Structure 1
């Protein structure tokens, strides 16, 4: 990522060592920390400063860092040292990737983005100066990671532990043994994002899509598992109608049960590469999240050769990432610039 002939690169790691149990069991791709450590000259283990932002700022300042780059921002539920940047540990401070949007603070000088994710006419929504990358700003390592299987039309699923069947996504049908309907669904839609990325309007849109495409099914991720019954209840209620406008308790369930029978939830995969292969195994079309797009999941889908349909009418950076990726790949027909109706 950095040219070490022009920059002296320092990595400050707040994360724990790679889990030896995962490595012992041969889980591919779980040795992130060790890979980073062996590929940079200056690696600093700063776990001791995880809750000591002042101590961390002093440590980084002592290394005479000119440019400090943050890859988490406000993400990860406060698990990182957000207070560090407010203390100005370096004269130039930049945000990139994980948290997609403005910091809202004058202590972040620049933000990496592109002109589709952050249109120039919306620059006033950011406190940072925008560094526009020439194509798509959101980077993933599919092409340089040996664990990632390149997509091919002849791909045959052979991954464990979820052991999918062989053949097309319709035959694999998201491991849904209780699938109601024809043995082979007409099409398999997927969305592998956290539930919190979708608003009620988006889930209602999925309901209409399932209704409009007979014998289709939707494959989601248990992310989190505790949210599955609540989402099923919402779908059941959203599919129903009130039978008496004067009685808020009157309710006709409509086709809620039938819709829920066509929605299947996959368990979370600890291994990111096993999870990435689910795109080829299970999906015909990915339905993107809104108002917060799938970012990593969108990249996984596109690299796996699975098209992703996204809404492109949002103003926030996090709602325009997939739009940007589709444009760069020449897949602009998958972008719904006119909003919800076009998305469906």
Structure 2
């Protein structure tokens, strides 16, 4: 057999392996073919495509460039080169490659679609939409383009059109999991949780190992209080995370399991795959500023719990020592009062929603930000990619996300000794910067209204003990409901006051309590209250807040205490399950902290049956609201600024980040 034929045989074997998904074998076959017949453009092009699928992006770039050196009109090689650049975060170069491919082949629907994807990642959504529409004009059956179009429409807030695009993709290929998953994600964002769950369950039937699907499926079930078959799903979720399989984004894990080691593993898997460290920008040169420049990054500079808590902190920062910048990752289309206050409270307020991650990073560097603080973590509309590019010499994870981000480029997480005891530091990728008392700040201007309220205004019966919990529905679970049912059965003259959350949750919860022997009429559901001062005022109708685990009340717990309502805590292992315990220690009410379900249930009943004890706790709470440091914003500002100075000194001295205390 001559050399040419051997090369051809290896090439054809490579094509066969590539089509069957045996990628490593395909790569070997293409390399063997090139050893015998170097420089063949078709072999190099297919090798580049294989290396992209194998995520060997550096090798793929070299291969594609070699293919183009042999044939400068190789549009397929240009497409592959663009994909390799896109996957490594160099979106401008990727876009240029796709444009060159289109110059060679303007009727390539694939090139138009890839161009649209690059434009979308650059936050140039309207241009991206034009590209996807062009791809679909050329091939109306191109279901991947329909799905990418759906993603872009969602970015533009055109949710119904987005859902329709996914429906088009599904009508062409019912087994296209991406479309089912993305359709479910939109329903999730729209708070149409049952429809989201239906999409995720269909996707799970098609491919139960689809990346990040199982976590969202579990989260959707928790959101509507559908706990049937949940134990089986949770067991699978835990095992797959333990086997290093990317089956959940980080946030759903916080309410799924109380295991900080699994939260770390999930965050690492997510960060390494979605937001790896990006070194395309140069190392930041060291500067020594007379005032430390603090950049707060958030999509929640609006009517949102993060801003409700932090508004006064931004205002009280000492301007003789600090310059304070806001990087707003999302506009406030509602034009709320909080946004206006925040804009006034920063030295500079930068709206960066329509900038790419790299552009935001460069803007931060241009402003010579010393400490970049991410206030969103892995919550909705977060932009971790900004920090992957290194927005500042010091990068900090604080407040918005109760756990580690699992990266190698966040230097610190701000916490307190209760949230992350020294023995738990190993579960955090960041070094821990410890605040005394509690990590949570509050705005002292956030006060309850003076309206005269009565229980009947909220459908609550008089002369009845009112347990309450205004937590989000995903924080509830079957084990918790069993504990609450036991408590209520032992305290017959009581009701449970809950946030309405959503209609499916309400319906499922009524069934759950009824099946445990509790009359469902004893559950009173509270609709959303628009004004914060009215929300705080209505807490006065409650006698005792019952907390959740593995995901505690956070802002909700602070609200309850601020309104004078004691909160019964059950301490967990992970950050999300230790927040209420932290708050109770900070306000000097340790007698409300429990460490087992049995202790939790027993203390709840005891507090009802010994009203003098509960009255004494309420009196102490009222005194401690004034005397303890928890609600003293001035003390908090001083403490967090001391931490910032320590971080800055550590950096200026050329030392690596280390655990900090003050």
TM-score bucket (shorter structure): 0.7 to 0.9
**Cα separation, 2, equivalents of 1:157 and 1:98:** 31
Unaligned runs of 5+ in 1: 21-29, 151-155, 159-163, 166-170, 177-182, 240-254
Contact 2:476 2:548 in 1 (8 A): yes
Q: Which structure carries more relative contact order (alpha carbon 8 Å, separation 6+)?
A: 1
Question: Hey, what does 1:336 align to over in structure 2?
Answer: 594
Q: 1:236 aligns with which of 511, 514, 536?
A: 514
Matches within 5 A, 1:99-248: 99-141=401-443, 143-145=444-446, 148-149=447-448, 157-158=451-452, 164-165=453-454, 171-172=455-456, 174-176=458-460, 184-237=462-515, 239=516
Cα distance per residue 1:87-106 (max 9 Å; x no partner) = 21111100111211111111
- Could you tell me how far 1:48 is from its partner in structure 2? 1.4
> For residues 226 and 87 of structure 1, do their structure 2 counterparts lie closer, same or farther at Cα, with a shift above 3 Å needed?
farther
Q: Deviations over 1:209-245 (max 9, x none)?
A: 11010110000001234421122223233x1xxxxxx
Q: Are residue 63 (structure 1) and residue 378 (structure 2) matched?
A: no
Shift of residue 9, structure 1, vs aligned partner: 1.3
Instruction: Indicate the residue corresponding to 1:17 in structure 2.
Output: 332
Measure how far apart 1:108 and its partner are: 1.0
Give the equivalent residue in structure 2 for 1:296: 555
CA offset digits 1:287-314 (Å, max 9, x no partner): 01111011101001001110000102x1
Map Cα deviations across residues 117-153 of structure 1 (whole Å, 9 max, x no partner).
1111111111110011011111111x234xx138xxx
Contact 1:111–1:129 at 8 Å: present in 2 too? Answer: yes
Q: Relative to structure 1, is the Cα distance of residues 173 and 213 closer, same or farther in structure 2, using a 3 angstrom cutoff? A: farther
Report matched runs for 1:21-32 at 5 Å: 30-32=336-338
Higher helix share: 2
- Cα displacement (A) at 1:173: 7.9
Taking the aligned partners of 2:566 and 2:457, their CA distance within structure 1 comes to: 17
Normalised by the length of structure 1, the TM-score is 0.78
SS of residue matched to 2:322: coil
Partner secondary structure for residue 217 of structure 1:
strand
The CA distance in 1 between the partners of 2:550 and 2:490, in whole Å, is: 23
Asked if 1 retains the 8 angstrom alpha-carbon contact of 2:448 and 2:534, the reply is no
Question: Does the residue aligned with 1:201 lie in a helix, a strand or coil?
Answer: helix
Deviations 1:5-62 (A, max 9, x none): 1122111112323625xxxxxxxxx41111111122211111212xx32222222222
Secondary structure of 1:318's aligned partner: helix
Relative to structure 2, which stretch is displaced further, 218-227 or 114-123? Answer: 218-227
What are the ranges of 5 or more consecutive residues in structure 2 without an aligned counterpart?
Answer: 1-312, 602-662
Moved more, 8-17 or 105-114: 8-17
1:250 maps to what in 2?
none
For 1:6, the equivalent position in structure 2 comes to 321
Q: Does 1:326 align with 2:628?
A: no
Counterpart of 1:24 in structure 2 is none
Most deviating of 9-18 and 193-202: 9-18
Equivalent-residue separation in structure 2 for 1:98 and 1:140 (angstroms): 13
Deviation for aligned residue 1:157: 4.0
CA distance in 2, matches of 1:110, 1:120: 14
CA contact (8 A) 1:174 1:266 kept: yes
Structure 1 residue runs of 4+, over 6 Å off? none
Instruction: Say whether the 8 Å CA contact 1:17–1:33 is kept in structure 2.
Output: yes
Query: What is the aligned residue count?
Result: 286
Equivalent-residue separation in structure 1 for 2:594 and 2:456 (angstroms): 29
Kept after mapping to 1: 8 A contact 2:499/2:525: yes
Distance 1:37 1:173 in 2: 36
Structure number having the greater strand percentage: 1
Q: Does 1:261 align with 2:534?
A: no
Q: Give distance in 2, aligned partners of 1:185 and 1:107.
A: 55
Give the RMSD, CA atoms, in angstroms.
1.8
The answer to whether the Cα contact below 8 Å between 2:448 and 2:532 also exists between their aligned partners in 1 is no
Contact residue 284 and residue 306 of structure 1 kept, 8 A? yes
Q: Residues of 1 paired with 2:544 and 2:587: CA distance?
A: 16
Bigger radius of gyration: 2
